[in-house]
Structure 1
Amino acid sequence: MNVADSAINLLKSLITTPSFSKEEDSAAQLIAAFFTERDIPFTCKLHNTWVRNRHWQEGKPVLLLNSHIDTVKPATGWQRDPFHPGIEQADILYGLGSNDAGGPLVSLIAAFLHFYDRSDLPFNLILAATAEEEISGAQGIASVIPELGAIDCAIVGEPTQMRMAIAEKGLMVIDAEAKGVSGHAAREEGVNALYIALDDIARIRKMDLERVSPLLGKVKMTVTQIEAGKQHNVVPDSCRFVIDVRTNECYRNEEVYEILQLQLQSELKPRSFRLNSSGISLEHPLVQSGLQLGLLYFGSPTLSDQALMPFPSLKIGPGDSARSHTADEYIRLSEIREGIEMYIRLIEGFCNG
């Protein structure tokens, strides 16, 4: 069996194995068994598994290949069993996590196997199949990075149609609360917290931060949840709402938070500042290798484990982000085969760069 067929069979097994964030144990065991069958030593921590190339040499630069084993829960509207790896039209593989990010994951594993026995690599290679990407959890890649030693750069496997995402928007979620004074709705009493919140939401909709990224565009702020009131005849004294902020590389999350604090009446509490915008220089050897192959580059509006990596990283992989988290998620077998070939060529170009 060739390496592409082995990768596709592994993906089929992963699809049959529910692997929601924080519940990836069985999927991690599948990854470990895959390497055990090939006599490749591996290391596990929590639900994360990583391997190193056979001829590891201290002092060489280190390239990390990373993708995730967790999935979201099935969206409503599936017309198929999300845990059955059904193939239709000889090329389309359906199943939860097939596209995000099973296809990129097994393609990176296949590329790692291609280079595993090479003794002439000018760099060391680590492949990490990690957990909790869908929730940016603390027990995923963030818990693994300290165990890996110094990393010089990474390829992050996500469905990008094999385009190079050289920049990625950050994420900051803010819990906001407008505070008023309760009163009877029939009389001119109280201060309506809901109206205060609506005024703030109107300000957010009109807010246009001046620094615009050529790759990622503007900072995007969206109110996604709101809650107020317990009875129809009582003026609410509290209104809570949630702001989803997608930052470009021109702003740190803390800076956008400070701007919002100055503009809004509501009390704001960020859940985290850690998921800042990330990216890699066009001049980086990984990107240059891709450009030599004719790969396109872009700025990605979606978040990945790149945000948790304190070193340059390139997001790229087979599949299409538009299929992620949707009913009847799928990836084409041809995309996986082409993805494996392109990963190998990308790494070879990096090797020779």
Structure 2
Amino acid sequence: MESKALYNKAIELLKKLISTPSLSKEEDNTAALIADWFKNENIEWKRDQNNIWATNKHFDASKPTILLNSHHDTVKPNKGYTKDPFNPVIEDGKLYGLGSNDAGASLVSLMATFSHFYSQQNLKYNLVIAATAEEENSGPNGLAHLKTQLPSIDFAIVGEPTGMNMAIAEKGLLVIDGVAKGTAGHAAHPNDDNAIYNALKDIQWIEQYQFPKVSDLLGPVKMTVTQINAGQQHNVVPDNCHFVVDVRVNECYSNEEVFDTINKNTKSEMAARSFRLNSSSIPLDHPFVQGGIKLGRTTYGSPTLSDQAILTCPSVKVGPGDSTRSHQADEYIYLNEVEEGIGLYIKMLNEIIK
């Protein structure tokens, strides 16, 4: 009976979240909805900017702590939508709406799970729930900021659509701005210092180089040049060429190590935008992972980035839904995926928390 009540409350909250726009940096109203939900559940909560968090009722600082985390911000709806992205319509067992799959379903399922355990005594672990902002833009005022306010975290469950299977490794992200220098001059005259040609030499190295350490879970480090810009007019050789490199880093390297290798092998001026979005992984023999396997969950390495990247503790990415639906038009979640998600979160935690 309790599980059905938790599910119904979760779906009602998810509908409200869908109908309330919450683009990254604009999550004020969904933060208020989440706070109201906790209030109605008689759960004491705290707000820090647009992040809402709470600890279990019998929190004991002498015990290890598990973080339950997901985000309530969304990307902008794309132009392919045929349905109103802010109208939570249910059709054929699917709840449609922006943020339904990524990551509203995971968030409300984790909140329901936290509510289930909130008042229980004699748990082996403390629980902290954090509904955070600015995940979609890797902003500074989401979990990156909130984690400095939270109790010490020993393990984290990050809610993202994984079909309730466990991503036990996740690629990091390194974005590099490159500037190739050259000598400006008239296009009609000889010039062997063309910034565009100089950039192409580095871009060719980036295309062809393979980092030697290949992960069993995440595969190789992947480098992709995604932007390039140079020149103002047809008859002038430019003196600089700007380009951007998107690097997806496996758990065999730190972002700093990857950058150093790129920087040493290219002549362009290279600057990393940030080193903080590192790859993450957790041992296969971790008790939570083993508990999930016992319950029939599979493990895999995820190519997509989440708030795991800014956590320093062991973490698993797991949640209801399908990653391929994220950021697509007419986003949806199956209602039974939410029901299954709540049940599996509770069962998986029961394997270690009691």
For residues 189 and 351 of structure 1, what CA distance do their matches in structure 2 show? 69
1:31 aligns with one of 29, 34, 38: 34
Match of 2:112 among 107, 110, 113: 110
Please show how residues 132-281 of structure 1 align to structure 2 within 5 Å: 132-189=134-191, 191-281=193-283
Is the 1:184–1:190 Cα contact (8 Å) retained in structure 2? no
Taking the aligned partners of 2:12 and 2:194, their CA distance within structure 1 comes to 59
Which residues of 2 match residues 299-314 of structure 1 at below 5 A?
A: 299-314=301-316
Alpha-carbon distance, 1:247 to partner:
0.5
Q: Is it true that 1:66 corresponds to 2:58 in the alignment?
A: no
What TM-score, normalized by structure 1, do the two folds share? 0.97
Pair 1:20-2:23 in alignment: yes
8 Å contact from structure 1 (residues 4, 337) kept in 2 = yes
Amino acid aligned to 2:168: I
Whole-Å Cα distance in 1 between the matches of residues 172 and 324 of structure 2?
19
Amino acid at match of 1:191: D
What is the deviation of 1:192?
1.5
Question: What is residue 94 of structure 1 aligned with on the other side?
Answer: 96
Following TM superposition, by how much is the alpha carbon of 1:120 offset from its aligned partner in structure 2, in angstroms? 2.8
CA–CA distance in structure 1, aligned partners of residues 134 and 70 of structure 2: 11
1:11 is displaced (CA, Å) by 0.6
CA distance in 2, matches of 1:102, 1:279: 24
1:71 alignment partner AA: T
Question: What amino acid is the match of 1:64?
Answer: L
**2:47 is the alignment partner of 1:41:** no
Runs of 4+ in 1 over 4 A off after TM superposition: none
Task: Identify the residue that residue 329 of structure 1 maps to in structure 2.
Answer: 331
Question: Would the aligned equivalents of 1:41 and 1:51 in 2 still touch at CA under 8 Å?
Answer: yes
Letter of the aligned partner of 2:26 in structure 1?
Answer: E
Residue 56 of structure 1: how far off its partner (Å): 1.8
In 1, Cα distance between equivalents of 2:127 and 2:332: 29
One-letter amino acid of the counterpart of residue 106, structure 2: P
Quick check: 1:183–1:190 contact (8 Å CA) kept in 2?
A: no
Name which of 68, 82, 85 aligns with 2:85: 82
- AA at the equivalent of 1:350: I
Distance in 2 of aligned mates of 1:317 and 1:88: 22
Query: Does the 8 Å CA contact 1:56/1:124 hold for their aligned counterparts?
Result: yes
What residue identity is the alignment partner of 2:313?
F
Contact 2:124 2:352 (8 Å CA) reproduced: no
Q: Secondary structure at the match of 1:337?
A: helix
Q: Determine the C-alpha separation between the residues in 2 that align with 1:120 and 1:261.
A: 53
Range 180-189 or range 283-292, more displaced: 180-189
One-letter identity of the residue aligned with 2:117: F
TM-score, scaled relative to structure 2 = 0.97
Q: Which moved more, 1:7-16 or 1:71-80?
A: 71-80
Structure 2 unmatched runs, 5+: none
Hey, what's the Cα distance between the residues in 2 that align with 1:115 and 1:315? 20
Instruction: Tell me if structure 2 keeps the 8 A contact 1:280–1:313.
Output: yes
Give distance in 1, aligned partners of 2:316 and 2:140: 21
Q: Does 1:8 align with 2:11?
A: yes
The Cα shift of 1:338 comes to 0.5
- Following the alignment from structure 2 to structure 1, what is the Cα–Cα distance between the partners of residues 31 and 75? 16
* DSSP 3-state at the match of 1:26: helix
The Cα of 1:75 is off from its aligned counterpart by 1.6
SS at the partner of 1:74? coil
Q: Which amino acid aligns with 1:79?
A: T
Give 1:190 deviation, angstroms: 6.1
Deviation string, structure 1 residues 56-83 (Cα, Å, up to 9, x no partner): 2231111110000111111221111111
